[in-house]
Amino acid sequence: MSNFVVSSLKYRPKDFDSVVGQDHVTKTLKNSIIENKIPSALLFCGPRGVGKTSCARIYAKEINSESVQNLENPDYSFNIFEIDAASNNKTDDIRDLIEKVRIPPQIGKYKVYIIDEVHMLSKQAENAFLKTLEEPPPHIVFILATTEKNKILPTILSRCQIYDFNRIKDSEISNCLKDICKKEGFEFEDEAVSIISRKSDGSLRDSLTILDRIVSFTNKNITTEKTSALLNILDNESYLNISKNIFEKDLISSIISFNKICEKGFNEKDFLTGLASHFRNILISKSNESHSLFEFSNEIMNSFIEQGNMLSNSELVDHITIVESSIFKYNQVENKKLLVEITLMKLCKVNQSNQINDKTVEKKKDDLGKSIQDSKIEKNEPHQKINTKIDTKREKIKDLNIGSEIEPKKIENPEISALSLSSLKLKKEVNIEKEKEKENKISLENKFDLDALKLYWKKYSKNLSEKGNNSLSSLMEISEPSIFEENKILFNVPSKSNKKEIDLDRENICDFLKSNLKNDQIVLEVNIDESINKEYYSTPQEKFDKLNEINPILNEFKKDLKLDL
């Protein structure tokens, strides 16, 4: 009985040509070997299962192969050392590594240390590793691998050649899985393999692990139905069936299909997420240029295109919006199943609403076209014809012998077509008048007098004094504010430094006045007027000089006690 080997190990790449989906990395590494430009430190970063460790092993083997060509079946195991940083993340482990790197290789030219999950090293260990990483012995190559580059010290990143591994495309994974299935003699459906590749989320290793499960479950006959059941994924056929019912406004069939899906054990939120993604696929498939984005079979693509022709782009967007709204509400609702059923009701109803709206729009268009036609007829009718009609009416009135000749009543405000230029001009004038009235009303409501201004100006100054800002408080009382224009306040100060001090607190002053005077239009202007009697002293020296004039003994007192201002 042969020993079973999991596919992820059995089909692990042995050379650069067998690495899937990382051509930008493998080509660069091969060129560095050909040109003999081997860096002392490399960093491989990217998602799980995309080939980082495999490429590190291949590179370690390739850089030594040139120097041992004369040996038969050379053993590189003594040259390659793999270290798991998750379990060897202490400073002592790194110190032990630093001691070992001094020993040259027994075979080949380089000793290669592959440190996996390097972001798991402690900060102390990373710092201890820095010097050796920057200037290792000439026979040492470090290859660091990580899934979280952002957690590594920038000083380590700057010492490495960084290679970013990408998520592998679903199409590349599908092709690889199909080749493996053919080699192993498995029967498979293309859609089933496509489901496995999408489920693996860009990781080839995950896809091979899933493949082993599917092969065991299906007994080497990989079908779409069994694959979807095992992975708990709804296949495209199920979504196509339910979307067809929705587009045809068949609510009962939609709800029945959904309940059958629930009976199979599928989660309601997964159903909603998949339905939104399905509507997105239908919407994008309506453009031929976007078909390259899909990796579905021709049969599925044709079904997408066929259903896309049943609705407009805006209707499909409405469907996606409804489903998206239900996903947001999902965690807030206890009865998840009822939420999905209500969502299906809305989806079936949105088509009817759109049809009603379309009819309303068409009716409005017809009415608009009719009014335009009528206005054109009125505009183009000759004046002479109108005058003739008026004269005819006058003659008829005369024949009635009802006293004197009756003049037809003049229309002072003739009705103007809503589409004429005169009506637009009249409407504009009315709007202007309304705006003026509104502005005048606001102006009257927000008007304030000088007494109220002075009252709150002093109140603000008092507040400053209570808070300890005596300098600004005394400056605000150096003169009185005045109103020089509507909503504009003028305040005079004797110098530029005074103006600057007021300007620094201008916003707070204005907010205080606006709030208390009930006027959001207030503007404060500060003017420099040197003629103002300068009773305000902004610096301690100015204050001291003034006091010294009053009492000269103050200066002698300052000198005797050696005081500072």
Domains of the chain (ranges, CATH numbers): 22-164 (3.40.50.300), 170-231 (1.10.8.60), 237-352 (1.20.272.10), 450-534 (3.30.300)
The torsion angles phi and psi of 136, rounded to 5 degrees, stand at: -80, 165
Helix orientation angle between 170-184 and 190-199, rounded to the nearest 10 degrees: 130
Give me the pLDDT at residue 413, please. Answer: 47
Mean pLDDT of the 485-498 span: 83
Evaluate whether 55 touches 155 at the Cβ level (below 8 Å): no
pLDDT tens for 321-370 read: 999 999 998 888 888 889 999 999 998 886 554 544 455 555 555 555 55
Evaluate whether 278 touches 381 at the Cβ level (below 8 Å): no
Kindly report the average pLDDT of the chain as a whole number. Answer: 79
Percent of the chain with pLDDT over 90: 12
Cα→Cα distances 545→62, 526, 539, 549, Å: 88, 27, 10, 6
Confidence of residue 28 (pLDDT cuts 50, 70, 90): very high
Evaluate whether 473 touches 462 at the Cβ level (below 8 Å): yes
Give me the pLDDT at residue 486, please. Answer: 75
Give me the pLDDT at residue 402, please. Answer: 41
Question: Is residue 409's pLDDT more than 50?
Answer: no
The CA-to-CA distance between both ends of the chain, in Å, stands at 100
Mean pLDDT of the 396-425 span: 47
Confidence of residue 100 (pLDDT cuts 50, 70, 90): confident
CA nearest neighbour of 537 among 479, 449, 440, 471: 471
Q: DSSP letters along 96-128, please?
A: HHHHHTTSPPSSSS-EEEEEETGGGS-HHHHHH
Confidence of residue 45 (pLDDT cuts 50, 70, 90): very high
pTM (2 decimals)? 0.54
How far is 157 from 128, CA to CA, in rounded Å? 15
Question: Is residue 397's pLDDT more than 50?
Answer: no
How far is 114 from 145, CA to CA, in rounded Å? 7
